[in-house]
Structure 1
């Protein structure tokens, strides 16, 4: 690994080891050597083709080699404390086992959590979006007409979950992470990120305010699952520029491609591009799974792209990056992370797209075909469809 005199200076932009000032937030970063950012596996254990058919495990010369199930990391591990709490044995975070299953306004959710006493603990808080996403189990699947056959994107052996029977797809849970890169939708509203454990997506939801602070935005609210544990630990990256086109995150043990190649690919070709790469002399590159790619999103940065530009470059700021993870509800699609604006429009008849879900959202796109093949009539928000997305390679270093 190569080092130079600029590394320590650049590390302070991201990691909590020195009293550096974050130029984007103008806040002093407090020293903290207790970096503990364990990325557990997504749990996806089956292989799929472009059409969503389950296939046998591919070998390296096969198409579809390198998808999520091909590579397993640290398995999720939980302990039911038998007092209304569940401890994640990988992250050390303690979670509320059973939510109240009521929808809360974003700002009122903080009051709800502040008043909680569970298991004798009163120091509950709202999770960040990276903490909340750590609970993802990618084997979820929603059947709106048969909820008994549905599986949320959550380990229900440990966590209680209920579908909204009126809107089974609406299983959104708040995080504490506000969307700071600009207004959302065509009404210029303020958003805060949440994860939908019913359909397996991240997006920014209505806080009840416009971006300028005015009230009056429609405010359906989201559910809350509280957490306790040290703040500003999980989700903090420790980036090192290796000076060979790669960046290592010492917090997760992952090495990343520093600059994408500027091309877009369908999902099968993205997998192929990864397995054939010899970047920096390594031959074990792969597409990141959805948890891995979400781990390098910069949610605090106020500008797009949603990535730390002291270490990474997106050749196009308006960029979506493929993951190796098939989306459970529609297995002909795969998950992507939007590092640029996450576009949607009012309905399928509308003409104009807006930043609807926020840079840092996790959505899904068809793995192959033509955009017109997937256009559906909808009276609700209709996501932009691209099919060809960018690639940022990853490999394990420890």
Structure 2
């Protein structure tokens, strides 16, 4: 797939009102979905997530059409306080985004920066600069984190969209977000919350909320906060704001107490997920796969590797391509089997796979009560890397991190489908 340098094809009439980073490179022409985003008065409303963003980092004041003050980096506490005092466009409920909200605006098909520049203009990105890193409101609270990260906060680097944990005393930039406006129609792609129900101060995480001087943290809003207060109505079960239902081999609902199930429906996102087994069969937890996608329109410029490691999955036969241990062949086998009565299974994109991450736990970073046998390892997404066409994006369900890996590496897979 050809890579394109900015300027980009833009479906909204914004090109003349912005500067575009001359360094940005995209896998494909970048097009703004006019049905997804509404832009008015420097606000970006996302119809799929029901979030409204202020388009400049660090509440950079608009000078005509330009954002300024990108170098005004702050500590985490300073960023929380800066957003808390903002009233803009008649709204005074601005806050820092959670790590999942922040990553919902990342444009993984681009880098330098990994943002849609028609929505978030004037993003000047340089290697190793503090302002490339953006704070979330999500503290790292898992008790099993290494000591170097136990008191940190999740951030995203706009260089390529990679997330990590850094100390709260570090300097970084920030975006402002708010919920709504609420529309009468259902949100097309609701975000799962993070699972975080505890807060932090400048020295300690895992504190009860609120913490004076550190208001506006992840645990104080959203589905997790409602669940902690006993105010969230669920169809099924799951930790904090997650809402899962177990499904049998035919795709029928099962009670939460069931000891055997084949799939899980996420009642909030509407996605249905494969459940791994420990029986040596097609869905066995130990099986691994190389990344392979022969579709030139979606593989980022490189199809990957069909048969790089041999017998690392169930049913492998070197003389039959349909049995190869790659992501493409595995999807075809699962659809032929008809897992949970369906034949439209696919590899999830990076955002869909991240929706399962529970940031309150690690080893694994997922609700094991609904997703048993999850390996403490990397899982492939369908999203190719913009920086290197021989790499694709993956999620680490050991620690909730994400990165790009060589498509010939062998990793785990969890398939997804839409509910009907």
CA shift digits 1:46-71 (9 cap, x unpaired): 699xxxxxxxxxxxxxxxxxxx99xx
CA distance in 2, matches of 1:162, 1:184: 32
Q: C-alpha displacement at 1:237, in angstroms?
A: 3.5
Instruction: Find 2:271's aligned residue among 238, 249, 254.
Output: 254
CA distance in 1, matches of 2:341, 2:407: 29
Partner of residue 104, structure 1: 74
CA shift digits 1:80-107 (9 cap, x unpaired): 121x322112222111111232222122
Query: Is 1:240 paired with 2:245?
Result: yes
CA shift digits 1:168-187 (9 cap, x unpaired): 69622111111122476674
Q: Which segment is superposed worse, 180-189 or 155-164?
A: 180-189
Question: Are the counterparts in 2 of residues 289 and 323 from structure 1 also a CA contact under 8 Å?
Answer: yes
Structure 1 unaligned blocks of 5 or more: 1-45, 49-67, 143-151, 209-218, 341-358, 369-386
Counterpart secondary structure, 1:112: helix
CA RMSD of aligned residues (A): 2.8
CA distance in 2, matches of 1:47, 1:236: 41
Structure 2 unaligned blocks of 5 or more: 4-26, 59-69, 181-220, 225-239, 250-261, 277-282, 293-325
Counterpart secondary structure, 2:392: strand
CA distance in 2, matches of 1:274, 1:103: 44
Correspondences of 1:362-373 after superposition (within 5 Å): 362-368=402-408
Partner of residue 288, structure 2: 264
Q: C-alpha displacement at 1:139, in angstroms?
A: 1.9
Q: Which segment is superposed worse, 131-140 or 235-244?
A: 235-244
CA shift digits 1:348-376 (9 cap, x unpaired): xxxxxxxxxxx1111111001xxxxxxxx
Partner of residue 81, structure 1: 40
Partner of residue 134, structure 2: 173
Question: Are the counterparts in 1 of residues 57 and 174 from structure 2 also a CA contact under 8 Å?
Answer: yes
CA distance in 2, matches of 1:187, 1:135: 28
Question: Are the counterparts in 2 of residues 99 and 160 from structure 1 also a CA contact under 8 Å?
Answer: no
Question: Are the counterparts in 2 of residues 85 and 118 from structure 1 also a CA contact under 8 Å?
Answer: no
Query: RCO (CA 8 Å, sep 6+): is it higher in 1 or 2?
Result: 1
CA distance 1:158–1:188, shift in 2 (3 Å): closer
Counterpart secondary structure, 1:267: coil
Q: C-alpha displacement at 1:164, in angstroms?
A: 4.0
CA distance 1:238–1:315, shift in 2 (3 Å): closer
Q: How many residues align?
A: 271
CA shift digits 1:270-294 (9 cap, x unpaired): 2321222122342221110001000
CA shift digits 1:367-391 (9 cap, x unpaired): 01xxxxxxxxxxxxxxxxxx21111
Question: Are the counterparts in 2 of residues 275 and 284 from structure 1 also a CA contact under 8 Å?
Answer: no
Query: Is 1:204 paired with 2:137?
Result: no
Counterpart secondary structure, 2:156: strand
Partner of residue 30, structure 1: none
Query: Is 1:321 paired with 2:343?
Result: no
Which structure's CA Rg is the greater one?
A: 2
Q: C-alpha displacement at 1:335, in angstroms?
A: 0.4
Partner of residue 367, structure 2: 308
Query: Is 1:274 paired with 2:328?
Result: no
TM-score by length of 1: 0.62
Q: C-alpha displacement at 1:324, in angstroms?
A: 0.6
TM-score by length of 2: 0.59
CA distance in 2, matches of 1:243, 1:207: 44
Question: Are the counterparts in 2 of residues 163 and 198 from structure 1 also a CA contact under 8 Å?
Answer: no
Counterpart secondary structure, 2:97: coil
Q: C-alpha displacement at 1:321, in angstroms?
A: 0.6
Question: Are the counterparts in 1 of residues 364 and 374 from structure 2 also a CA contact under 8 Å?
Answer: no
Question: Are the counterparts in 2 of residues 97 and 158 from structure 1 also a CA contact under 8 Å?
Answer: yes
CA distance in 2, matches of 1:276, 1:154: 35
CA distance in 2, matches of 1:75, 1:335: 26
Partner of residue 413, structure 2: 391
CA distance in 2, matches of 1:272, 1:169: 42
Question: Are the counterparts in 1 of residues 126 and 132 from structure 2 also a CA contact under 8 Å?
Answer: no
Q: C-alpha displacement at 1:112, in angstroms?
A: 1.1
